[in-house]
Amino acid sequence: MTTTTATTATTAARPTLDEVAGAARAAFATTVASTAAERSAWLTAVADALDAAADELIPLAHEESHLGTARLTGELARTTAQLRLFASAVVEGSYLEATVDHPDPSTTPPRPDLRRMLRPLGPVAVFSASNFPFAFSVAGGDTASALAAGCPVIVKGHSAHPRLSRRTAEIVAGALATAGAPDGVFGHVEGRETGVALVRHPEVRAVGFTGSLHGGRVLFDLASSRPDPIPFYGELSAVNPVLITAAAVDARADELASGLAGSFTLGAGQFCTNPGVVFVPAGSGFAERVAAAVGQSAPVPMLTDGIAAAFADGLAGLAAHDGVDVVAGATAQQPGTGSAVVLSTTTGTVLADPGALLAECFGPSTLVVEYDDVDDALAAIRSVGGSLTATVHAEPGEELGDILAVLTELAGRVLFAGWPTGVAVSWAQQHGGPWPSTTSIHTSVGVTAIRRFLRPVAYQDAPDAALPAELRESNPLGIPRRVDGVLVVPGSPAD
């Protein structure tokens, strides 16, 4: 039974996890030996098929996620752009880190002929997220990374959008089959218990996960405690602190307030990059400006009733805290929905109970924290856990002192303008940061995410014909390589 038919079958006919995993293992025998051109064609075929199905997929996504057609249209475009970017990166080839050292008897110890490149790990499990039904779901960044690497994928679909997941899986599997990828290269499973079994499955060699801190930690612990531990790349939780200097507030308070209001309410605040805590000078009246910018916000349906309930609980906990004021909106929320809430407090209150005040509150809220001076603000920011992003708004030429060092240690992306929501997909993008924002030191967005599903292999004194094309002496694929320590980019005049 192929996984292509599997995903179109009714529940009764669905293959077992063992069958899906066995098919993935069998497919690996082909994908591990696939050429860059083949993998590139697979990725492009998936992108084309998804774009062609946009008129069907976007309404389905909206029905299940309530995220709106405009946002979902953009998200699908971003998803297929990511697949195409990876398709081009696979052909460019430098992600393989191809390295050739010719023999050198003069070194200690003497050096044989050594040729190293990255090779695929094996079948990869991907846990999709609720809040990006395209970009971090069935055909999202983790799936694109694994296919680019040459790894079969088993997606555990998210229960918040099951019909979209199934239909996307059908389209992905169909496109891959048409493009000549092997049966079993893509599988789709459902259910919490199946997800647990997936992380434990002997055929699974790595996991990509986007979701909650609690759920991610449970699965990370499972992956780490296997008889054979496997890498678990989880993107879990982030507060995404923002620091606004006195000079910046003086110069452009309204612009900053409306920028923040737009960012934290975007998509009902259901972004892992939502700016959850914003440090502003005491007495600047910034919280009230943000409240004014938000205005009368209507309740917006959230992704699931559970997410809405957790949002309301989080707000209630914050608002009940001594020293926290609600300056816009109300902590009482209508079931299933979220409406914008602005809270305010001081660094003293935060430092007295950082665990409570700096926990992620997933939804359209932000906590404005007044500070006395920058050192005071940085002391409080240091108590924020690792975050996906950290932002500073300062004026041109302003002395940043320790701000940059503190934000860099905290986060995987440091912004000097704009707001952290909206994650461009590119070579330089980084989406990940210190615990608890991620479980690893790798990105889950951008081209370097492919690296997660590869491991290095060195070939010693291999006959040229036995080597992968990427390592043959003549460099037939023309990829960038390091040769005897020198990075060489073919096609450049230096080559």
Question: What are the catalytic residues?
Answer: 235, 272
List binders of its own copies among 265-304 (CB under 8 A): none
492 binds its own copies (CB under 8 A): yes
CB of residue 309 vs its own copies: minimum separation in angstroms? 26
CB of residue 492 vs its own copies: minimum separation in angstroms? 3
Size (the chain), residues: 495
How far from the centroid of its chain's Cα atoms is residue 457's Cα? 27
CB of residue 340 vs its own copies: minimum separation in angstroms? 22
List binders of its own copies among 393-422 (CB under 8 A): 396, 400, 404-405, 408-409, 411-418, 422
Complete DSSP assignment for 209-259: EES-HHHHHHHHHHHHTSSS---EEEE-----EEEE-HHHHHHHHHHHHHH
List binders of its own copies among 57-96 (CB under 8 A): 74, 77-78, 81, 88, 92, 94
For residue 159, what are the CA distances in angstroms to 193, 216, 256, 304? 12, 15, 37, 9
List binders of its own copies among 418-477 (CB under 8 A): 418, 422-430, 432, 434-436, 439-443, 446, 448, 454-463, 466
- The tokens of 322 are what? 């001594």
Query: Phi/psi at 122 (nearest 5 deg)?
Result: 135, -170
In this complex, which beta carbon is closest to its own copies, that of residue 377 or of residue 447? Answer: 447
Kindly determine how many residues on this chain lie close enough to bind its own copies according to the rule CB under 8 A: 91
Using CB atoms within 10 Å of the CB of residue 211, give its burial: 0 to 12 exposed, 13 to 18 middle, 19+ buried: buried
Of 16-24, 110-118, 193-201, 284-292, which part binds its own copies (CB under 8 A)?
110-118
Rounded Cα distance, 241 and 366, in Å: 10
228 binds its own copies (CB under 8 A): yes
Site string for its own copies, 351-390 (x = CB under 8 A): -----------------------------------x----
240 binds its own copies (CB under 8 A): no
CB of residue 72 vs its own copies: minimum separation in angstroms? 12
Sign of CA dihedral 206, 409, 437, 79: negative
Q: How crowded is residue 22: how many other Cβ atoms within 10 Å of its Cβ?
A: 18
Site string for its own copies, 15-54 (x = CB under 8 A): --------------x--xx---------------------
H helix and E strand count, the chain: 16, 19
